[in-house]
Amino acid sequence: MTTPTHTASAKATRPIRLVLVDDHRMFRSGVKAELDPAVTEVVGEAPDVDTLYLMASPQYSFLSSSGVKELAIFDGSIEDLVPEAVARRLKEELSR
């Protein structure tokens, strides 16, 4: 019988993928300089974005009600995030 040569702890892990969102180039550069490339990977920068939502798979996702409300206030689409009745009622409340 042979013994396995690897263990779960020896498996290579993927780095944490990041998108840097800030309008100050020097701030983004400073953050990037402090990150350990063995642990993190900057996959993008977004200097002109105010808010960024990255959604996980539905079974792992959670979106706070304040995030949904903020998205609705700024005329974002919330229909895929909440039940139809909730989306309709929220839009009614915000139109008052």
Residues 60 and 95 in one domain: yes
Residues 43 and 79 in one domain: no
Residues 90 and 75 in one domain: yes
Residue 85 lies in a domain: yes
Which has more pLDDT, 3 or 59? Answer: 59
> Where do we find the tokens 């996959």?
43
Residues 48 and 74 in one domain: no
Structural domains of the chain, count: 2
Residues 88 and 69 in one domain: yes
pLDDT tens column, 8-30: 444 568 889 999 999 999 999 99
Amino acid at 79: E
Helix axis angle, 84-94 to 65-73, nearest 10°? 60
Domain enclosing residue 23, as ranges: 14-52
> Is pLDDT at 66 greater than 50 in this prediction?
yes
pTM for the whole thing? Answer: 0.45
